[in-house]
């Protein structure tokens, strides 16, 4: 039996994208200084082009970026391309546009390609499974998971749930296709948000993948990012102290580059950093009092530990 519930857990396996990149101002896509993240958008990065800003694509950008939100203008030159992941969405909002390019200019998904010349104005969307007028009216603030006694718990938090009908939870392993587990109706008030929780009581016998199919009342849908849950995770994060006043020492389960993200209990990202050290110190003096999850992304593995800020 599967149900929606709330839980507080000490160890969490969490999907964390590489970065969230917003355009600082008008500029070229391939210029690191154009972006608040300090680098050209890479694999998994969500990208936002604000109102009044024009970003010009000049090359064949091979990284499969995450979602692309356009309130300003995305301008293509001839032959330039952007690659997107299968679960990505390009949302062109009212007042936003995609312009320029020739037939060689493209938005490229794994199973779909949209070629120029572009003269698209919002509201409009592009996905791996189709395109059309309007946008899927929802902001997926966070989507992550935890394990307890071989059960997987999924958490997601939304904002701006206007016209959303439901969330279909889908799962697969290395040797199977995606299967629907449960349909969860939208719980948010009009144009509001909600924090959802779902427990998969199926005992884990191997690595597993999860995603959300987000469906609106008009039948349009998009997929969330995919969570990878490993049954063979070795080592855990160590945090000392777990009752923190100003800073804490963190020991990672393995050496190597890692992205560190801190989330509050509502799923909001409040602090992030990248480290190459297996043992390091984090200043959390600026956080409000309460419970937090520190998540670590190292390669394909994701873990988290809970701490409390005094």
CATH code: domain 238-309 is 2.60.40.1930
Average pLDDT of the chain to the nearest whole number:
82
Q: What proportions of the chain, in percent to the nearest 5, are helix, strand and coil?
A: 0, 55, 45
Note the pLDDT of residue 94. Answer: 85
CATH topology of domain 138-229: Immunoglobulin-like (2.60.40)
Provide the β-strand partners of residue 282: 248
> Rounded to an integer, what distance in angstroms lies between the CA atom of residue 129 and that of residue 126?
8
Residue 274 and residue 297 in contact, taking contact as beta carbons nearer than 8 Å = no
The pLDDT value given to residue 113: 93
Sign, Cα dihedral of 6, 9, 13, 19: positive
Domains 138-229 and 238-309 share a fold: yes
**pLDDT at residue number 302:** 65
Given this model, what pLDDT does residue 275 score? 86
* Whole-number pLDDT of residue 174: 79
> In the prediction, which pLDDT does 96 show?
94
Every domain of the chain and the residues it spans: 20-133, 138-229, 238-309
pLDDT at position 43 is: 86
Digitized pLDDT (tens) for each residue of the chain, 310 residues in all: 343 333 322 222 333 334 678 999 999 999 999 998 889 999 888 899 999 999 999 999 988 898 898 999 999 999 999 999 877 889 898 899 999 999 999 999 988 899 999 999 988 888 887 787 776 656 677 777 776 667 788 888 887 787 788 999 999 887 888 899 999 999 988 667 888 999 998 876 778 888 888 888 888 777 777 777 776 554 567 888 888 999 999 988 777 788 888 888 766 778 888 888 889 999 999 999 988 888 887 765 666 777 889 8
Query: What was the pLDDT predicted at 2?
Result: 40
Would you state the pLDDT for residue 11?
Answer: 27
Distance CA 243, CA 236 (A): 18
């Amino acid at each position: 039996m599967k149900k929606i519930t709330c839980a507080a857990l000490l160890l969490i396996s969490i999907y964390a994208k590489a970065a969230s990149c917003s355009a600082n101002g008008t500029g070229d896509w391939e210029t690191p200084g154009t972006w608040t993240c300090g680098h050209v958008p890479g694999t998994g990065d969500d990208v936002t082009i604000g109102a009044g800003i024009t970003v010009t694509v000049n090359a064949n950008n091979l990284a499969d970026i995450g979602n692309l939100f356009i309130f300003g203008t995305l301008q293509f030159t001839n032959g330039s391309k952007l690659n997107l992941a299968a679960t990505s969405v390009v949302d062109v909002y009212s007042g936003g546009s995609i312009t320029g390019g020739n037939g060689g200019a493209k938005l490229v998904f794994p199973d779909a390609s949209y070629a120029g010349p572009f003269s698209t104005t919002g509201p409009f969307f592009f996905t791996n499974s189709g395109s059309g007028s309007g946008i899927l009216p929802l902001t997926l603030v966070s989507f992550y998971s935890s394990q307890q006694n071989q059960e997987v718990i999924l958490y997601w938090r939304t904002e701006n749930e206007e016209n959303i009908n439901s969330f279909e939870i889908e799962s697969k392993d290395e040797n199977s296709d995606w299967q629907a587990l449960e349909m969860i109706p939208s719980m948010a008030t009009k144009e509001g948000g909600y924090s959802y929780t779902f427990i998969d009581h199926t005992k884990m016998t191997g690595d597993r993948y999860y995603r959300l199919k987000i469906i609106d009342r008009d039948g349009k849908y998009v997929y969330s990012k995919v969570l990878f849950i490993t049954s063979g995770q070795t080592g855990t994060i160590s945090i000392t102290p777990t009752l923190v006043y100003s800073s804490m020492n963190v020991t990672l389960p393995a050496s190597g580059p890692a992205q560190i993200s801190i989330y509050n209990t509502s799923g909001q990202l409040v602090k992030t950093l990248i480290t190459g050290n297996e043992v390091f110190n984090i200043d959390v003096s600026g956080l409000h009092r309460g419970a937090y999850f520190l998540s670590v992304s190292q390669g394909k593995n994701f873990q988290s530990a809970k701490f409390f800020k005094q």
